Amino acid sequence: MREKLLILMKNEGLTSSRLAELLGIQPSGISHILGGRNKPSFDFVQKILRRFPKINPDWLLLDSEQMYREQGELNEYANKNQSAETSSLPSAAGSSDNISTPPTLIEQNPSAQNSHIPTNGPIVEKISNSQKAIKRVIILYADRTFESYEE
């Protein structure tokens, strides 16, 4: 990941402190990753992909040769994120707190009712019977994109 960060910074004309500023993290976080002290977290990778939508996630995560998305992929990503952002905005009549309830899987993807996604079974039962609070749900799509919902 160190090499990827250096390439990203070079291609985007960024210093490590400017990259940290754009990602909303401490400059030491970038420094620790570049120095090999820390490995990047999932949250860090998400911030890069959200801040630089042209970056190909396969390049960043899976060593694909193509650093930037093709124009068609970029348009699809932009349209998907725009509709996801508008659907997750709290309504004006909603509560005053800042926590919005994420949509259910069926609401997010209506075709999931007829897909291979289980709605019952051992995994769903284990989650339903768990005494632990769910903090984050990540949905991975076949086109290698993902969505993350946090409490």
Contact 151, 134 (CB under 8 A): yes
What pTM value is reported for the model? 0.49
Q: How would you write the pLDDT of the chain (151 residues) with one tens digit per residue?
A: 889 899 999 999 999 999 999 999 999 999 999 999 999 999 999 999 999 999 999 998 887 888 888 866 555 555 555 555 444 444 444 433 444 444 444 344 444 444 455 566 666 666 667 677 777 788 887 777 777 777 7
Residue among 81, 82, 99 nearest 90 (CA): 99
Find out whether 111 and 145 touch, Cβ atoms under 8 Å.
no
List of domains in the chain: 2-62 (1.10.260.40), 100-151 (no CATH)
Q: Angle at the Cα of 41 (from 62 to 116), degrees rounded to 5?
A: 60
